[in-house]
Structure 1
Amino acid sequence: MRIAFLTAPEGVEQVELTDPWQALTEAGHEPVLVSTRTGHIQAFDHLDKADTFPVDVMVGQVQAESFDGLVLPGGVANPDFLRMDERAVEFVRSFFAQGRPVAAICHAPWTLVEADVVRGRTLTSWPSLRTDITNAGGTWVDEQVRIDQGVNKLITSRKPADLKAFDEAILTEFAA
């Protein structure tokens, strides 16, 4: 399976990118780094700069049909930048329109809120997003991992400490 990882040029929480990426790679899937700019992205370890990663393709030059699923890593700045980029928001929205599975962790559901795809869905996130999710018509729950079985599967998780469960859910749900 070919899985898109959508990030902004900077601000992604490194472990929320690398951990699911590694789990999918080890299971024989092909992760693809999609960003709003070409070149490299700058990851962070909370507020400190961490590693950089090469962008495989720029959003707007690729369609959701090219992928079997989408992973949205968190970090506070990453989804905030993504939700301000209409091409990124439309890319996310298109996965829902096509019924393809989407996984989001930590602050990443901000991008889902901007794409107007949480209405009627139950999801989890970093606790500070609770009001945003509720105001967008979603139901927020405080769970390690939440799988909403709507038109497409939506896998969400709260924070880096939940990554083991998040990775297991992605592997199971993306393969189903």
Structure 2
Amino acid sequence: MQRVLIIATDGYEQSELMEPKRLLEEAGAQVTLASLEHGEIRGWDQKDWGQSVRVDLLVRDVSTEDYDALLLPGGQMNPDILRMESKVIDLVREFDASGKPIAAICHAPWLLAEAAILEGRTVTGWPSIRTDLANAGAAVVDEEVVVDGNFITSRKPGDIPAFTEALMAALNMEAAEA
């Protein structure tokens, strides 16, 4: 069974956490949600607060050895808050150093820039962060999903099917039958 860690906090883009989580679980993955505080975190659903989801683990208690991949949902607020947390950035660096897949969608590639691991890599992301990604040394393209080594990046909620499929392929998983 593949073990996928999601790191998120309040203001995550609801569809970018909930839909990949659902698809991964249906395909047999064990998915763990880590955040900065115990309890629940609230999603952002287009123009207002959305659903809450229960936190399984605190970021400070995460060990990268316990997981096969890292999934970073976007939303404007979520990655902006997370990139200010040194433990989150350390975990992103550890996943990268181990060569494990890191899947980041929408604004979440900001965390890759903050971790200073984009030099020479090809990625995509939400249009408003593309200059930041390029300034961090990445070649930035406008594509549904970009796989460069262990990095899997996508632009927006509409890319979720391709994004999740690319993560499953990196983990040698097959999607559940519909």
* TM bin (shorter chain): over 0.9
Determine the C-alpha separation between the residues in 2 that align with 1:94 and 1:36. 18
1:3 aligns with 4
Unaligned runs of 5+ in 2: 174-178
Higher mean displacement: 14-23 or 166-175: 166-175
Partner of 1:123: 123
Q: What do the CA deviations read for 1:15-55 (whole angstroms, capped 9, x no partner)?
A: 00011101100110001001111111111102311111110
- Which residue pairs with 1:71 in the alignment? 71
* Distance across 2 between alignment mates of 1:69 and 1:4: 6
**2:38 alignment counterpart:** 38
Q: Does 1:100 align with 2:100?
A: yes
Instruction: Give the drift of 1:170.
Output: 1.2
Where does the alignment leave 5 or more consecutive residues of structure 1 unmatched? none
Cα offset, 1:167, TM superposition: 1.4
SS of structure 1 residue aligned to 2:171: helix
**Using the alignment, how far apart are the partners of 2:79 and 2:34 within structure 1?**
13
Amino acid at match of 2:74: G
Q: Which residue in the other structure is 2:151 paired with?
A: 154
State how far apart, in whole Å, the 2-side matches of 1:79 and 1:28 are. 27
How far residue 109 of structure 1 moved from its aligned partner, in angstroms, is 0.4
TM-score, normalization by structure 1: 0.95
- How far is the alpha carbon of 1:93 from its aligned partner? 1.0
Q: State the 4+ residue runs in structure 1 displaced beyond 2 angstroms.
A: none
Mapped partners of 2:133, 2:39: distance in 1 = 32
Is this contact kept in 2: 1:46–1:75, CA < 8 A? no
Give the CA deviation at 1:4.
0.2
Look up the equivalent residue of 1:154 and give its one-letter code.
F
RMSD of equivalent CA atoms = 1.0
Provide Cα deviations, 1:141-174, integer angstroms capped at 9, x if missing partner: 000000002xxx1100000011111111111112
